[in-house]
Structure 1
Amino acid sequence: MTRVLHCYKTYYPDTFGGIEQVIYQLAEGGIKEDIRSVIFTHSPSFENKKEALDNHLIYRVKTLYEFASTPFSYSAIRQFKKLAEDSDIIHYHFPYPFMDFMHFAAGIKKPSVVSYHSDIVKQKTLLRLYTPLMNRFLSSVNHIVAASPNYVESSPVLQRFKDKVEVIPYGLDKEFYQNNDPAVLQKWHAIFPNGFFLFIGTFRYYKGLHILIEAARNSRYPVVVVGAGPIEAELKSQAQRLGVNNIHFLGALEDSEKSALLQLCTCLVFPSHLRSEAFGISLLEGALYSKPLISSEIGTGTTFINIDSVTGLVVPPSDPAALRKAMDEIWNNPQLASSYGAAALARFESHFTADKMVKSYNRIYKSLLNR
């Protein structure tokens, strides 16, 4: 049995982002590979405690304060060191600057892997202060994993450490999504009987939802938006100001509701326009359901998932007119949309299953332990 300690700044149920989903898939999928996982994380809501989630354990330390989206805790270093002593592999999830500090403060000597999920894009001034620690941390770990070759080529940081970088795409477990309730399907089909464009994600500055709203002006098809986030009020105000009454903000939904909408939608639209969007788990979800995809070319994993004119359409970033043209093309050509959807599913099954991801990480774990 291989004991893996995952380290990231947040986890279920406090947040439900793409990185949290990847960690969950690794932890649960690892059971079949005889991998036992513990997740070390911060929480604003929970006191220090250990608890089970399905087949893995979570150890939370309470966040003392947060700065620049990074949680801090005085007790974290002591608890992290204790958990590391009982682990075979330390699996870090980057970016999380306090994690780099903990690595050195706890004197970690165990084999270590970093899943490099994203460059730090927004905090440019703080990045200059953090860079020496970041470079020292990435130099000290044994292996760095990126989720797409596109991101490796476009990231100055990964280029600097290219000799220890490997690509392992994110993967999803199809069984996790086969939970559609017929009553839920019927409900959404009655509301949107003729299809719709679907966005699923957290409302953040880089998701491009303001571009989607602009693109939807004077269109005749429904645009369904699932999620919540810090700019929600701003987006709703924009839609109202522009008179876009065919966009439907449904809020954060349960998995059964999202699965139903994924099954019923005409197309998964993903307008992220900045490279803070390093991959795009929602695109994988659309592909899993055989849906055509629309995304922007931002030099990251989105275009590793969505191949232009094969699995869907890729448009220039921050271009509402181009996005509208792509949406019109998908909506007006059902046969083309079906062809793209079939290709998206085929690409998902060949590149992006949870089983492939877990086996690839297990190979790295074993090589580090054998070394």
Structure 2
Amino acid sequence: MRILHLYKTHLPDTYGGVPQFIGQLAQGVARHGHAVDVLFPSRQSLRTSSFDNYTIHPVPLHLELASTSISLSVFKKFAELANFADVIHYHFPWPLMDVVHLTAGASKPSVVTYHSDVVRQRVAFLFYRPLMRRFLDSVDRIVATSPNYRATSQTLQRYESKTCAIPIGLDQSTYPEPSVDTLDKWRARVGNRFFLFIGGLRYYKGLHILLEAVNGTDIPVVIAGGGPVERQLQRQAKRHGLLNVKLLGELPEEDKVALLTLCFAVVFPSHLRSEAFGITLLEGAMYGKPMISAEIGTGTTFINIDRQTGLVVPPSDADALRKAMILLSTHPLMARRMGQNARLRYEKLFKADTMVQRYLDLYEEVLSERGARRKTPQGMGPVTF
């Protein structure tokens, strides 16, 4: 098979959750002997190249508007690559992608991974909804990244008959092994009893709630990542004199893994449905760490099971978050047991090999259904097996 992925960004331009997921899936599918292409707008290199045993096709990014990447070049390149693809794999939401799909008239089997509802742009969504529905109506399958999100998304309820849930998976072997020197460097700087957040610093991550929760305490918190609210968080930490909070900015992958190795627990205070899954939580589980997250009706509570793999608190509740952090800190044996349970849950549900095989089965399924429909004489019903 040849699989074509389309999304608004990708590695190495950005290392957010969706690009990480696409990369993990692309690598896994390629290891099974299939060809994988990833098409995306880019501000950096525009050279088609091999990347982790699959092929990336960056095209010029001309404009960004309301979190939407605009590229006129993507239309021509998509038509070119789709001609050779067996299955086209879209990643929602990205309104330009809907237009590309509908105007290209691509007749290939299509799968959409539904990463998130449109949450913040409520007014714009009223205008976008007709286009979105035409796009989702036209694809063969929709994949939610957790059963929780599938059950709570109003949009997905409209497409229940063709929607399934395939949880995101990670391959730990693709993560760098931190050197002794790197571990020693971070151990000297932050210790090994800290709560860790890694990820983009965005409005829905709830980090302002985390800073409010640890205000007036000596609970150590390390925040690694950059993004639009970074300066706002720095001002909040300075205003309240939060010497127990370290904002580290963007870090290389080896340093992130060192922090995951050293930390006491992972804290993930996202408070809005824009946080559809939570790759950082999954990384915490992979490294056997107890977790704290908020109940927002998404995949975060599919990864983190309250009182089993960690603690789940109400969203936007700084007091509850503070109490959860204190509870873990003062009960290290309980925290260790939760971390062990988190690792077991990762091994059972969230390994990359499991995710890859389920997507390969889905690709084969849509290919088979399309073939069956093409072979059905006009006027007859669909062939069943």
Verify same fold: TM over 0.5.
Answer: yes
Q: Give the drift of 1:178.
A: 5.2
Which segments of 5 or more consecutive residues in structure 1 lack a partner in the other structure? none
Which segments of 5 or more consecutive residues in structure 2 lack a partner in the other structure? 370-385
2:49 alignment counterpart: 51
Distance 1:289 1:86, change over 3 A: same
Q: Give the drift of 1:194.
A: 4.5
CA distance in 1, matches of 2:186, 2:360: 40
1:7 alignment counterpart: 6
Are the aligned partners of 2:192 and 2:263 in contact in 1 as well (CA < 8 Å)?
no
CA distance in 2, matches of 1:33, 1:245: 49
Determine which of 318, 326, 336 is the counterpart of 1:338.
336
1:249 alignment counterpart: 247
Q: Give the drift of 1:188.
A: 1.3
Q: Does residue 314 of structure 2 align to residue 302 of structure 1?
A: no
CA distance in 2, matches of 1:66, 1:187: 38
1:316 alignment counterpart: 314
CA distance in 1, matches of 2:64, 2:226: 21
CA distance in 1, matches of 2:64, 2:186: 39
2:364 alignment counterpart: 366
CA distance in 1, matches of 2:270, 2:66: 21
Q: Does residue 32 of structure 2 align to residue 33 of structure 1?
A: yes
Q: Which moved more, 1:30-39 or 1:198-207?
A: 30-39
Q: Give the drift of 1:256.
A: 0.8
Count of residues in Structure 1 that have an aligned counterpart in Structure 2: 369
1:75 alignment counterpart: 73
Q: Give the drift of 1:368.
A: 1.5
Determine which of 349, 352, 366 is the counterpart of 2:350.
352
Q: Does residue 260 of structure 2 align to residue 262 of structure 1?
A: yes
Measured on the aligned residues, the alpha-carbon RMSD in Å equals 1.0
1:84 alignment counterpart: 82
Are the aligned partners of 2:9 and 2:40 in contact in 1 as well (CA < 8 Å)?
yes
CA distance in 1, matches of 2:231, 2:166: 37
Amino acid at match of 2:299: G
Q: Give the drift of 1:63.
A: 1.4
Structure 2 SS opposite 1:206: helix
Deviations 1:90-134 (A, max 9, x none): 000000110010001111000000000000100111111111111
Q: Does residue 132 of structure 2 align to residue 134 of structure 1?
A: yes
Q: Give the drift of 1:177.
A: 2.6
Amino acid at match of 1:37: V
Structure 2 SS opposite 1:285: helix
CA distance in 2, matches of 1:21, 1:194: 26
CA distance in 2, matches of 1:309, 1:267: 14
Are the aligned partners of 2:176 and 2:253 in contact in 1 as well (CA < 8 Å)?
no
Structure 1 SS opposite 2:205: coil
Q: Give the drift of 1:154.
A: 1.0
Amino acid at match of 2:287: Y
1:180 alignment counterpart: 178
Are the aligned partners of 1:115 and 1:144 in contact in 2 as well (CA < 8 Å)?
yes
Instruction: Give the 5 Å matches for 1:265-284.
Output: 265-284=263-282
Deviations 1:214-252 (A, max 9, x none): 011122231000000011111110111112111001111
CA distance in 2, matches of 1:39, 1:336: 43
1:233 alignment counterpart: 231
Amino acid at match of 1:7: L
